């Protein structure tokens, strides 16, 4: 019996001690924020893809190299395309308008001959016709002169038409062959992968001698000085996020330091698999050394207040009821809250002593 009595006393003492666990509100600042995690990406970071099939013949850069827009990164060899360009060049040379000027000169000579013949036959015809009107000569001779004249007119017109057709054909062939050569040159240039930005080569996926196909990623490039914070925000919180909100960033690479950033972009399409939205932010002051794909944790600050009455959240029931040290239960009006503390707007004051609610 004595043992049970002592146990009962101990339980009462412990219970009393728990009831005596009290605090008084404090006056401090508080911020309401949304947690997010993500990756750091270089500005303008992109994957360079192959647009042709072939084997990598040459690699012109190394990882970490600085490049400019148009800098060759690597060359993909394709003998068929090389031969196609050479063939297009030969065709363009053969079909060049100036190279075929002799054909036009010959056609022009035929026009001149036909014109001279027309003049001669015209003169004979009208002279014979005038003599026939004076009853000089024969009708058969007149008809023969007239036929020669008509044939000369037809021949002259035909020579002009042939010249125009030849000129149009040479113009077409010359232009077409030049365009084919340009297309072949463009296709050949596709075999040289070039940088689309001024930045750094962060990664090379392939090396010399490897086979690549259409849409094969070959490299990762990005800006060397400016970086973007890509955060994943839950669908339940996305409607609270706005451009310009402050972001507090923690990096494993810089333990103990917090960096300020600002929300710059909100992507409107939700990722159906993760049920999150992509939100971008930019550093206010960027760390001295930073690299792409570094992970981070962040708090997006929705709003903050200074000099407000705060109590721990575990001293409230349903964030609305508090128990004073004398046992009285009071209804309180709350404001901002974080993971540990909550703002008290009314119901209790800074001098009230509160019991912890178990």
Model confidence at 131: pLDDT above 50:
yes
Model confidence at 253: pLDDT above 60:
yes
Question: Of 252-266, 282-296, 337-351, which range is least confident?
Answer: 337-351
pLDDT of residue 358: 67
Mean pLDDT of 67-72: 93
* b/e code 318-329 from CB counts within 10 Å (16+ = b): eeeebbeeeeee
pTM of the model: 0.58
pLDDT of residue 83: 63
Q: Which residues make Cβ contacts (< 8 Å) with residue 312, sequence separation at least 6?
A: 23, 340, 341, 342
Task: Report d(CA 181, CA 185) in Å as an integer.
Answer: 6
Tens-digit pLDDT profile for residues 76-122: 876 666 666 667 676 767 767 677 777 878 888 888 888 888 888 78
Please report, for residues 176, 327, 331, the alpha-carbon distance to residue 167 in angstroms, rounded to integers and kept in the order given. Answer: 14, 109, 98
A 10 A CB-CB count for 1 gives 5
């Amino acid at each position: 019996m004595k043992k049970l009595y002592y146990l009962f006393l101990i339980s009462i003492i412990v219970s009393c001690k728990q009831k005596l666990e009290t605090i008084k509100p404090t006056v401090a600042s508080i911020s309401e924020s949304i947690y997010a995690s993500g990756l750091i990406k270089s500005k303008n970071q992109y994957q360079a893809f192959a647009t042709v099939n072939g084997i990598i013949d040459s690699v012109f850069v190394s990882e970490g190299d600085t490049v400019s827009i148009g800098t060759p990164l690597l060359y993909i060899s394709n003998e068929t395309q090389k031969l196609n360009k050479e063939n297009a060049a030969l065709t363009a040379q053969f079909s060049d308008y100036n190279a075929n000027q002799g054909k036009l000169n010959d056609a022009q000579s035929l026009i001149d001959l036909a014109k001279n013949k027309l003049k001669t036959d015209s003169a004979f015809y009208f002279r014979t016709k005038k003599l026939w009107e004076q009853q000089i000569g024969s009708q058969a001779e007149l008809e023969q002169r007239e036929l020669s004249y008509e044939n000369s007119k037809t021949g002259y017109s035909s020579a002009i038409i042939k010249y125009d057709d030849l000129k149009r054909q040479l113009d077409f062939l010359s232009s077409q062959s030049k365009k084919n050569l340009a297309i072949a040159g463009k296709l050949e240039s596709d075999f040289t992968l070039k940088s689309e930005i001024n930045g750094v080569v962060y990664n090379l996926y392939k090396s010399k001698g490897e086979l690549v196909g259409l849409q094969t990623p070959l490299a990762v490039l990005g800006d060397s000085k400016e970086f973007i914070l890509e955060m994943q925000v839950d669908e339940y919180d996305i409607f609270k996020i706005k451009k310009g909100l402050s972001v507090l960033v923690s990096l494993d690479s810089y333990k103990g330091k917090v960096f300020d950033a600002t929300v710059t972009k909100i992507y409107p399409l939700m990722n159906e698999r993760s049920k999150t939205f992509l939100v971008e932010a930019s550093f206010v002051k960027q760390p001295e050394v930073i690299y792409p794909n570094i992970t981070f944790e962040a708090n997006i600050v929705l709003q903050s207040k200074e000099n407000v009455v705060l109590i721990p959240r575990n001293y409230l029931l349903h964030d609305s009821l508090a128990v004073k040290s004398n046992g009285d239960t009071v209804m309180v009006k709350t404001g901002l809250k974080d993971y540990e503390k909550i703002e008290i707007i009314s119901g209790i004051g800074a001098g009230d002593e509160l019991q912890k609610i178990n």
